[in-house]
Amino acid sequence: MSLPLQLGRVRHESGVDVAVIGELAATLLPRFDGDMLALINEGATGLATARAARDSAQSTRIPIADIELLAPIDLALRDVLCTGWNYWEHFDEGRAQRAQDVPRPEAPTFFTKRASVVIGPRRAIAFDQRISAKWDYEAELVIIIGKTGRSIPRSRAMDHVFGYCLANDVSQRDLQRRHGGQWLKGKSIDGTMPLGPWIVPAGEIDPYSVRLQCLLNGELMQDASVKQMAFPIAELIAELSFGMTLHAGDVVLTGTPSGVGNSRTPPVYLKDGDRVVVRGSGLGELANTVTAADLAGSSDLRPLS
């Protein structure tokens, strides 16, 4: 059984290219000059180009061992769009951490993360305890928007999906509390969100067949089916685009299932040297090591106790 089309961005000795990622080699797509958005904007034509290159004996291929997988899309200055509380078991497990007994939302809950959080699927997750004492993992399915639109009806929402990948929405729980419980600050620390490892086009995978898992140092921490999402993909797109334009290339995180470290007894927080793997059936895996970095610099602020 052949692999689905796996579209990524790779760094090699000659530069950065969009590529079709295979088991043994990456097939370069130099026509797109390293820009996944250029492929996305071509729609069916771009996908046909990728498939033709994958199947051609004349294409340039580089062994997997000789490339670095990058985040599959360069967000530049565009924020990451995110969904909270989209698995009811996760919503319920967090009740004890919330100051108020918030009722289950009747519509999706959205927030954003700064683009500077994004790192590649094998890069180190930046970690600085001067920023936060409560670093947490969150495995998530990601939607890549393929067609620009506003106020998209649910009946046409899936037509706006280019494909899917994975993210680890690493969060700083004490920063969330420090700033009134809102999520932007506690989820926007530089260099902390692995994305990828590649994009599988929408026509090549059923997102509801995906099983999401997160392993911490080899121990299974999260394990859920995307079928368990409270608000399905079409509804997320319809709600998020209501009066607000979604652009081709936008990255939309769809929420994390239960099992996060902050809700465990006792809590489990990330530390320097931890190995975190996020995987999704049919979508590959992110494998990242939490690594000490200087994020606080000369700031005189410290985490809340």
User: Does 165 reside within a domain?
Assistant: yes
Residues 19 and 129 in one domain: no
Tell me the pairing of strands 171-172 and 284-292. unpaired
User: Does 305 reside within a domain?
Assistant: no
Give the whole-angstrom CA distance, residue 279 versus residue 118: 17
Residues across the chain: 305
Q: What is the pTM of this model?
A: 0.96
Which residue is associated with the tokens 């999706």? 108
User: Does 96 reside within a domain?
Assistant: yes
Please give the tally of structural domains in the chain: 2
Q: Which residues pair with 56 in a beta bridge?
A: none
Give the whole-angstrom CA distance, residue 29 versus residue 201: 16
Give the whole-angstrom CA distance, residue 171 versus residue 75: 19
User: Does 104 reside within a domain?
Assistant: yes
* Structure-block tokens of residue 283: 């979508």
Domain housing 63: 7-70
Which residue is associated with the tokens 């590529």? 19
End-to-end CA distance of the chain: 53
pLDDT tens-place values along the chain, 305 residues long: 578 999 999 999 999 999 999 999 999 999 999 999 999 999 999 999 999 999 999 999 999 999 999 999 988 778 999 999 999 998 888 766 554 567 889 999 999 999 999 999 999 999 999 999 999 999 999 999 999 999 999 999 999 999 999 999 999 999 988 888 789 999 999 999 999 999 999 999 999 999 999 999 999 999 999 999 999 999 999 999 999 999 999 999 999 999 999 999 999 999 999 999 999 999 999 999 999 999 999 999 987 75
Residues 195 and 273 in one domain: yes
